[in-house]
């Protein structure tokens, strides 16, 4: 059932949507990840992208692991988000290599051990596959509430036309709401793909 977002506070909405994705069974998650893969793998957006930002699934997020593996097979360069102790609210994307060592961030999400020389400005990326807590069909997105992606991508606010990176939100279909109320700092995505379909404007 599609949620009417305006009837809930942002906090309640986030809780409800996180709960929806967390209660999916392992089998439902596995099928969703496979359907997501099938929707994206042959798409020109993915095929043409050489530098791709991804994430390690957490908290019931739709899992892009199959896409990560495929991107490695196609010799694309993969970047993952990392949080550092300081500045506390900054996120960076760091290139992963066969030598990457791993650690956990403060939310217990696996991330590469920080290596400044492997970190890039977002404009270096062709495509970012972004985890969503909620979305609407107009590109509105709700994240975990840390504002990490919004800050990392805030430079896009000052652009008349977006070139890079292409922002593709990934979500389970059950995370769709009718319309999200956007804040001044929110960076919408260009498109969303779920286990069932694409939403492009």
Ligand X SMILES: Nc1ncnc2c1ncn2[C@@H]1O[C@H](COP(=O)(O)OP(=O)(O)OP(=O)(O)O)[C@@H](O)[C@H]1O
Ligand Y SMILES: Nc1nc2c(c(=O)[nH]1)N(C=O)[C@@H](CNc1ccc(C(=O)N[C@@H](CCC(=O)O)C(=O)O)cc1)CN2
Instruction: Name the binder of 109 from ligand X, ligand Y, none, CB < 5-8 A by kind.
Output: ligand Y
Confirm or reject binding of residue 195 to ligand Y (CB under 6 A). Answer: no
What CA–CA distances, in Å, run from 19 to 35, 63, 104, 134?
21, 16, 23, 11
Each residue 20-49 as x (binds ligand Y by CB under 6 A) or -, in order, gives ------------------------------
Rounded to the nearest whole angstrom, what is the least distance from the CB of residue 135 to ligand Y in the complex? 13
Confirm or reject binding of residue 144 to ligand X (CB under 6 A). Answer: yes
Q: What end-to-end distance do the CA atoms of the chain give, in Å?
A: 22
Rounded to the nearest whole angstrom, what is the least distance from the CB of residue 27 to ligand Y in the complex? 21
Instruction: Name the binder of 150 from ligand Y, ligand X, none, CB < 5-8 A by kind.
Output: ligand X
Confirm or reject binding of residue 61 to ligand Y (CB under 6 A). Answer: yes
Confirm or reject binding of residue 185 to ligand X (CB under 6 A). Answer: yes
Confirm or reject binding of residue 56 to ligand Y (CB under 6 A). Answer: yes
For ligand X, which is the closer residue by CB, 9 or 183?
Answer: 183
Confirm or reject binding of residue 84 to ligand X (CB under 6 A). Answer: no
Query: What is the SS3 assignment for 104?
Result: strand
Instruction: Name the binder of 151 from ligand Y, ligand X, none, CB < 5-8 A by kind.
Output: ligand X
148 is in an annotated binding site: yes
Query: What is the SS3 assignment for 170?
Result: strand
Distance in angstroms (rounded) separating the CA atoms of residues 72 and 84: 25
140's CB contacts (< 8 A; 6+ apart) are 179, 180, 182, 186, 188
- 117, with CB counted inside 10 A (0-12, 13-18, 19+), is exposed
142 is in an annotated binding site: yes
| Residues forming beta bridges with residue 191, ordered by sequence position | 168, 200
Strands 91-95 and 77-83: antiparallel
Confirm or reject binding of residue 143 to ligand Y (CB under 6 A). Answer: yes
Give the binding site for ligand X (CB under 6 A).
142-151, 154, 183, 185-186
């Amino acid at each position: 059932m599609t949620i009417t977002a305006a009837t809930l506070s942002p906090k309640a909405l986030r809780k409800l949507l996180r709960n929806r994705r967390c209660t999916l069974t392992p089998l439902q998650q596995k099928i969703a990840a496979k359907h997501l893969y099938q929707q994206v793998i042959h798409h020109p957006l993915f095929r043409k992208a050489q530098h791709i930002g991804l994430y390690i699934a957490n908290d019931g997020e739709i899992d892009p692991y199959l896409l990560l593996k495929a991107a490695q097979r196609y010799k694309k360069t993969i970047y993952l988000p990392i949080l550092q102790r300081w500045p506390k609210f900054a996120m960076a994307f760091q290139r992963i290599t066969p030598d990457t060592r791993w650690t956990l961030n403060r939310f217990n999400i696996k991330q590469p051990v920080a290596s400044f020389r492997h970190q890039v400005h977002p404009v270096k990326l062709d495509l970012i596959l972004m985890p969503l807590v909620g979305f609407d069909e107009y590109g509105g997105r709700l994240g975990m509430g840390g504002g990490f992606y919004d800050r990392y991508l805030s430079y896009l606010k000052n652009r008349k036309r977006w070139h890079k990176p292409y922002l593709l939100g990934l979500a389970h279909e059950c995370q769709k709401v009718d319309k999200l109320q956007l804040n001044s700092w929110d960076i919408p995505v260009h498109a969303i793909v779920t286990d069932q379909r694409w939403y492009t404007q």
